[in-house]
Amino acid sequence: MSQEVSVSAGTFRGHIDPSRLIDRLSRLVRTSSENPPGNEAEAGKLAASFCEELGLEVSIHEGATGRPNVIARWTSGEGPTLGYCSHIDVVPAGDRSLWPVDPFGAEIKDGRMHGRGACDAKGPVAAALEAVAVLKEASVPLAGTLELELVSDEETMGTVGAGYLCEQKIIHPDIAIVGEPTSLKVVRAQRGACWLVITTRGVAGHGSAPERGVSAIKHMAEIVARLEETLPDISHDVLGGPSINVGTIKGGEKINIVPASCVIEVDRRSVPPETKEDVLATVENAVERARDRYPDLDAHVEFPFYGEPFEVDEHATIVETVAEATSEACDRPAELAGFRGASDARYLARAGADVVVCGPGEIALAHTARESLDLEELERAAVAYALAFARLLAPQG
């Protein structure tokens, strides 16, 4: 069979095994891997077993004890390394009474699989596994290495997952696809996730005489009021502008004591071309503006986590190839998009790969008690991935 005949949506659809695909997803959803606390061990074993069934070369790498990252490679001849990275951890199910179904029951209703991780991101994982099966069954020739990177810890910023693998140079793909629920839109840019902690210090005093103390909360309130006004007036064509959100605030000891300390945690989302130094400068500017009003303001800014933004040119090979694949698999024009949230794509981009984010599922349902995945879209994703893998690793000449 020639490559031109085999590398087509129609041919690949004929090799899709819906029962196999749904069974793998069901087993993954039923295997709880909530993070926190980070109990991905059983899901890692299951993912590794699926990869071994496909005849891939499998290795396990733990960034922390009991937290596996499954690397499964299919190498065939000389060529680039194409990484497919998705995650086996899920956010906690939370209050079970809010769920209309068992969050780990993998119930199928009205053509959708329901449960925690169905779309974020065990659906993308199952689709990628099916894509590999399809390529093997269709005897599609490859030139290079297809590397499945099925990782832990994405939901808590990936430092012992994709971050660990890239830092240790266990993975360093030339090009990469990250599987997240994007409704099969092709994400070529992602905002940076930056977490900061701001602490103000005051002087305690009796609540009946606040003038004798210095209120750390009053000073913090002024900083909070200044944070949005110091955001840069910039906009990205698919990401929009940067944003800032004060997620937590803690301060004071008792209602009748002038508070001597206050702490806020700030989520700052950046866009290209902003750098870590740019983000820190805008927050420190807010502090200085607050100090203009309160000269005795004592504040300290910490930067515990920084995830950079990234973007890939819309004409890059990875973008055009994955867009073409999704268009053919879905029988509609491809849609390029930006990702306002965070994903492991930033680690792969930092490691030097051209990377896009693409997968089945609606991001609006992720992290909710309504999480589910349309099974027809799951099949389309498997076809799209198979097309993208085959074309990105097509023999030359």
User: Nearest 5°: phi and psi at 216?
Assistant: -65, -30
Cβ atoms of residues 158 and 350 within 8 Å: no
> How high is the pLDDT of residue 47?
98
Cβ atoms of residues 249 and 199 within 8 Å: no
> How high is the pLDDT of residue 5?
43
The pLDDT confidence band at residue 3, using thresholds 50, 70 and 90, is very low
> How high is the pLDDT of residue 6?
59
> How high is the pLDDT of residue 151?
98
Q: Are strands 243-251 and 261-270 parallel, antiparallel or unpaired?
A: antiparallel
- Greater model confidence, 205 or 2: 205
| pLDDT tens track for 360-387 | 999 999 999 999 999 999 999 999 999 9
| pLDDT tens track for 71-112 | 999 999 899 999 999 999 999 999 999 999 999 999 999 999
For residue 295, give the 3-state DSSP assignment. coil
The pLDDT confidence band at residue 341, using thresholds 50, 70 and 90, is confident
| pLDDT tens track for 36-56 | 999 999 999 999 999 999 999
Beta bridge partners of 205: 258
| pLDDT tens track for 181-238 | 999 999 999 999 999 999 999 999 999 999 999 999 999 999 999 999 999 999 999 9
Give CATH for domain 192-307: 3.30.70.360
Q: How many CB atoms lie within 10 A of CB 266?
A: 22
Cβ atoms of residues 216 and 202 within 8 Å: yes
Query: Where along the chain do its domains lie?
Result: 3-190+309-392, 192-307
pLDDT at residue 1 greater than cutoff 50? no
For residue 22, give the 3-state DSSP assignment. helix
Q: Where do the DSSP E strands lie in the chain? A: 57-64, 67-76, 81-87, 107-109, 112-114, 144-151, 175-178, 186-190, 192-201, 205-206, 243-251, 257-258, 261-270, 298-307, 310-311, 336-339, 354-357, 372-374
Q: How many CB atoms lie within 10 A of CB 195?
A: 16
Q: What are the Cα distances from residue 159, in Å, to 66, 166, 217?
A: 14, 10, 33
| pLDDT tens track for 253-279 | 999 999 999 999 999 999 999 999 999
What would the mean pLDDT of 331-355 be, rounded to a whole number? 95
| Mean pLDDT for all residues in the chain | 96
> How high is the pLDDT of residue 199?
98
| Backbone torsion region of residue 176, taken as left when φ is above 0, otherwise alpha when ψ lies between -120 and 50, otherwise beta | beta
CATH 3.40.630.10 fits 3-190+309-392, yes or no: yes
pLDDT at residue 2 greater than cutoff 50? no
Cα-Cα-Cα-Cα torsion 152, 158, 164, 166, nearest 10 degrees, comes to 110
Sheet holding 298-307, edge to edge: 243-251, 261-270, 192-201, 298-307
Residue 110: how many CA atoms within 13 Å on its side-chain side?
3
Residues with Cβ < 8 Å from 221, sequence gap 6 or more? none
- Greater model confidence, 57 or 1: 57
For residue 374, give the 3-state DSSP assignment. strand
pLDDT at residue 10 greater than cutoff 50? yes
In terms of Cα–Cα distance, which of 187, 175, 130 is closest to 394? 175
Could you tell me the two tokens for 188?
């070529």
Cβ atoms of residues 213 and 203 within 8 Å: yes
Alpha carbon 182 to its chain centroid, in Å, reads: 11
